[in-house]
């Protein structure tokens, strides 16, 4: 059994905040993979389901971000899990918007949700770092993360969340490469060299290219192939 944790703050006021992208990620996994309804448990919202062959619990702590570790610690102890069984989805200022990275263990880098997790379960859990970008100055960070995503962010955000849900079964079985590839397929799908647009471009190139010049007629005199005797005879005709 594994525990996927999304970090965020509870309540409608914070629902679309950049800081709540972890909640959004596990919500999308639950929706796309037919998990059971959410229910209140462990100072948070919990639901259960399967990702491929793996049984997975999804948890959204409702202790507010800075106390997230309390909720996660309770769930971990109840199900007799270890930090190695836990994957945490969280916002990441140091990644460009739409970027996704997976990390095992390490520090909290000043993230208050991760800081709380370190205090309650230690640092040896996996993290899915979801890029939201940086406002540019340290003093603007709190306001930035507690502000809703802009309208201009909606397309890449939806693609990112869809990719996370697509790749969730791979993540559950420990295949981070396939998980990240699934995300990349949504966020930056490969461009086809064919299709209608490619054909239109090719036709346009054909039309705009200069036509091959018509071959010129050969106006030079043909070579004289008469024998010397014929030439002499022709002179006296």
Whether 121 is covered by a domain: the verdict is yes
- pLDDT, residue 18, reads 98
Q: Inform me whether the pLDDT recorded for 214 exceeds 90.
A: no
Position 233 scores a pLDDT of 52
Provide the domain count of the chain: 1
33 flagged as catalytic: no
Do the domain assignments include residue 10?
yes
CB 69 within 8 A of CB 110: no
For the cut 90, the answer to whether the pLDDT of residue 51 exceeds it is yes
Asked if residue 19 is part of any domain, the answer here is yes
Q: What is the pLDDT of residues 134-170, one digit of tens each?
A: 999 999 999 999 999 999 999 999 999 999 999 999 9
What whole-number distance in Å separates Cα of residue 237 and Cα of residue 232?
9
Helices (H), 122-173: 141-145, 154-172
Say if 108 falls within a structural domain: yes
73: left (phi over 0), alpha (psi -120 to 50) or beta: alpha
CA dist 1 and 224 (Å) reads: 98
CATH number for the domain including 53? 3.40.50.1470
Band the pLDDT of 198: cuts 50, 70, 90: very low
Residue percentage of the chain with pLDDT more than 70? 80
Q: Report whether 7 contacts 65 (CB < 8 A).
A: yes
| pLDDT at site 199 | 47
60 phi and psi, to 5 degrees?
-120, 100
Distances (CA, A) of 118 to 36, 44, 66, 70, 121: 29, 18, 11, 10, 6
Residue 232 lies in a domain: no
Q: Is residue 109 part of a domain?
A: yes
Tokens of 2: 């594994």
pLDDT score of 22 more than 60: yes
Domain extent for 165: 2-187
Mean pLDDT of the chain: 87
Token duo for residue 122: 């230690």
> Per the confidence metrics, is the pTM higher than 0.85?
no
Q: Is residue 97 part of a domain?
A: yes
57-108 pLDDT, tens per residue? 999 999 999 999 999 999 999 999 999 999 999 999 999 999 999 999 999 9
């Amino acid at each position: 059994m594994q525990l996927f944790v999304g970090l965020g703050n509870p309540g409608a006021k914070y629902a679309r905040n950049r800081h709540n992208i972890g909640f959004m990620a596990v919500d999308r996994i639950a929706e796309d993979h037919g998990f059971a309804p959410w229910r209140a448990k462990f100072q948070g919202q919990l639901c259960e389901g399967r990702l491929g062959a793996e049984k997975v619990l999804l948890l959204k702590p409702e202790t507010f971000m800075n106390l997230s570790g309390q909720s996660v610690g309770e769930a971990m102890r109840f199900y007799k899990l270890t930090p190695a069984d836990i994957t945490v989805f969280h916002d990441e200022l140091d990644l460009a918007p739409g970027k996704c990275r997976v990390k095992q263990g390490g520090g909290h880098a000043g993230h208050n949700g991760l800081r709380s997790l370190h205090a309650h379960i230690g640092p040896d859990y996996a993290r899915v770092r979801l890029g939201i970008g940086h406002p540019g100055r340290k003093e603007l960070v709190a306001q930035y993360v507690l502000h809703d995503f802009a309208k201009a962010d909606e397309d890449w955000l939806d693609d990112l969340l869809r990719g996370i849900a697509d790749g969730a079964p791979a993540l559950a079985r420990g295949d981070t490469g396939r998980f990240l590839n699934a995300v990349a397929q949504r966020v930056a799908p490969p461009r086809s060299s064919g299709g209608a647009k490619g054909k239109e471009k090719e036709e346009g190139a054909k039309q705009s290219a200069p036509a091959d010049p018509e071959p010129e007629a050969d106006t030079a005199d043909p070579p004289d192939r008469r024998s010397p005797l014929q030439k002499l005879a022709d002179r006296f005709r």
